[in-house]
Amino acid sequence: MAQFTPSRKKAILRKYAFNIKYLMMLASICVIVAALPKQAKFRYEFDLGRVWTQKDLVSPYSFAILKTPQEIESDRQAALRSVTPIYQRDTDVRKIQLEGYKSDFEIKWHNAGLKERLKQSYFNMDERLLNEIYDRGLLSLNPKYQQNQKNYAITILKNNVATDKNTADLFTKETALKYCSDALDKRKDLDKTFLLDLLQNRLQSNLKYDDRLTTRLANEAVEGLSLTRGMVQKGEVIVAKGSVINDKIYQELQSFKKAFEDNARINGDPRLVLLGQFLLVSIVITLLTVFLYLFRRDIYLDNRLVGLILLVVTAMLASLSFAIRLQLPNLYYIPYCIVPIIIRILFDTRLALNIHVLVILVAGFFVPNSFEFAYFEITAGMVSIYSIKNLIRREQFLVSALIITSSYFAAFVGISFIREGSLVSIDWMDFVPFVVSVLLTLLAYPLIYVFEKIFGITSDITLIELTNTNAALLRKLAFGAPGTFQHSLQVANLAENAIYTIGGNALLVRAGALYHDIGKLENPLYFIENQSSGFNPHDKLSYEESAQIIIRHVSNGVETARKYNLPEVIIDFIRTHHGNTRVDYFYQSFLKNFPEKFVNENIFRYPGPIPFSREQAVLMLADSVEAASRSLKEPDEKSISDLVDRIVKYKLNQDQLKDSAITLKDIETIKDIFKRMLMSIYHVRVDY
């Protein structure tokens, strides 16, 4: 079995890692292309009221002119009005009710106390009235068809024979009772109350509304409607150059677009459409990768972060494709600004803007009015990125949402003015999708939390939570090592001010500063800032032991940080804030008191690593300067200036800043800030 040297193993892993990156890119391209709608893209952009600036558009083939949605709805309503409701005549109702009438009459007659010789007259009278009512027809009116008047036309079916009637010529239960009452008024010899009591219990509708058949006829009438009106012949000019697109031309252009897409779907080669989409998406993903390689090499080399970015881009474009397939009424319901917000908070402004523009470029190929879409979404995306440039408070999300909404509104009004040329003709309901989109953008907050947990990223939101001095670990530091806690606060102020000035993540450096010395919780009294009684436990230890206790606060801090689940980016501040410098006090004391002994310098040296970011370098300088400033007997402008210069020079001489990408100009700026802030802290009066 072949054996691999460590260098060979690293080379294999590096090659494998790059293969993973390219596989992720290819997978992202394939998923996006698979999700995109497979249809040819109509080449012309047009809108109502605009001037046609291109050459005369001549129809390459004959096509039908589509009706407008308003025309289709008008035809639909007319077709529905032409369908009369169907009622079925139920012949069994008469038989059942007449049989019931006979039984009721016999029962009630014996208790009525009426003259026996008039019995047949009574019976015949009600029987005749019931027959007359059922012959004409008895029904219940349907409120659905009583739009403007009480009565309406109907069609009565009996043995599959249709008869057109109006409900005014038929009976309802109320009109039937009135008819009977009027007829009985003419028979003075009969007891009207007795007869009406018998009749009202035997009035049941023998004309039954047939909803199923009526609905079927209505559907057939609607389905039979033509969706077109007229034709545009081959060779006919659809719109001439310089013409204003009015309603007629607009509808012909819409019809031509539909005919073009249908023709391309039938006669076009779907493989070429697929190839075109693959090329377009590949260009976008390649540009994104090149951007990462040139400007964010740290992300490019981290497959985990590249995977996150590709996931966000793919998910957004797949969501757009899904919305198109669902035929969403308006594609502006989709929260496009969620992508730049997530990328801005997890990474940076430049990357967020770059990704947002690339996503909108791809989306523009598959949405109507591509230029307007791109204008709306690119401007809104830029606003969303700028509005959270420095995320300090949670409510900035809501403020950002309001600013994005205002941006959308301004763009909506501006485009409406250009299109309509009138304020009163603007349909304000068209702005509702933009509002919904902004509300959905607030989903970025929980999504960021999910991405942080899955991909191990620390966002500004998490840093805000970490810098809260009421956090459990900081409260423990404040009570367990109050001197260290105060030192950490001062270091945080110095470092934050410096990094903000030279450029960097001020929130990150503040969080790192607050936690950089948490390892001192293990043995707080061994650090001078926590000694208040005058007793120094180092007096009983050797210089080597004392140095090791001091040095161990770094490893102890890392252990404590991991116990409290602090992000790795914060742990890096703990590991690097002393770099690999010596604990000089105990080292020099050892040399002075034991000049004849051999000294192992590593015993007195921190394990490192040295700072590898601007933020870590600034923290190292701020930590050393703040700690040393406490030893000044009488701090004044000169002593503070000399102190800062000496410490910074020492760090440079020890090569502690060589990996941090910090410039000499940055260092001079940092020194000036430290001097000014320390003089303010110690209330030094500046001569001027």
Q: Say if residues 501 and 495 touch (Cβ distance below 8 Å).
A: no
> How much of the chain is in helix, strand and coil states, percent to nearest 5?
65, 5, 30
Residue 393 has pLDDT above 70, yes or no: no
If you average pLDDT over residues 516-535, what whole number do you get?
Answer: 84
Strand 153-158 vs strand 86-89: parallel, antiparallel, or unpaired? parallel
Residue 272 has pLDDT above 70, yes or no: yes
Question: Peptide bond preceding 69: is omega within 30 degrees of 0, i.e. cis?
Answer: no
Q: What is the pLDDT of residue 687?
A: 46
Instruction: Return the bridge partners of 231, or none.
Output: 64
Return d(Cα 351, Cα 290) in angstroms, integer: 12
User: Structural domain boundaries of the chain?
Assistant: 6-40+269-455, 79-222, 460-681
Task: Report pLDDT digits (tens) over 432-471.
Answer: 999 999 999 888 888 888 888 888 888 888 888 889 888 8
Q: Which residue has the higher pLDDT, 281 or 394?
A: 281
CA 56 to chain CA mean position, Å: 42
At 474, phi and psi to the nearest 5? Answer: -70, -35
Residue 29 has pLDDT above 60, yes or no: yes
Residue 619 has pLDDT above 90, yes or no: yes
Alpha-carbon dihedral angle through residues 475, 478, 479, 482, given to the nearest 10 degrees: 180
Mean residue pLDDT of the chain comes to: 85
Residue 666 has pLDDT above 60, yes or no: yes
Residue 13 has pLDDT above 60, yes or no: no
Percentage above 90 pLDDT, the chain: 32
Q: What is the pLDDT of residue 143?
A: 86
Task: Report pLDDT digits (tens) over 155-212.
Answer: 998 888 888 999 899 999 999 999 998 888 888 888 888 888 888 888 999 999 999 9
Q: What is the pLDDT of residue 185?
A: 86
Instruction: Return the bridge partners of 228, or none.
Output: 66
Return d(Cα 635, Cα 625) in angstroms, integer: 13
**pTM above 0.85?**
no
At 207, phi and psi to the nearest 5? Answer: -115, 110
Q: What is the pLDDT of residue 616?
A: 93
Task: Report pLDDT digits (tens) over 479-509.
Answer: 999 999 999 999 999 999 999 999 888 889 9
Q: What is the pLDDT of residue 42?
A: 67
* Confidence class for position 683, pLDDT limits 50, 70, 90: low
The residue count of the chain comes to: 688
Q: 460-681, what's its fold?
A: Hypothetical protein af1432 (1.10.3210)
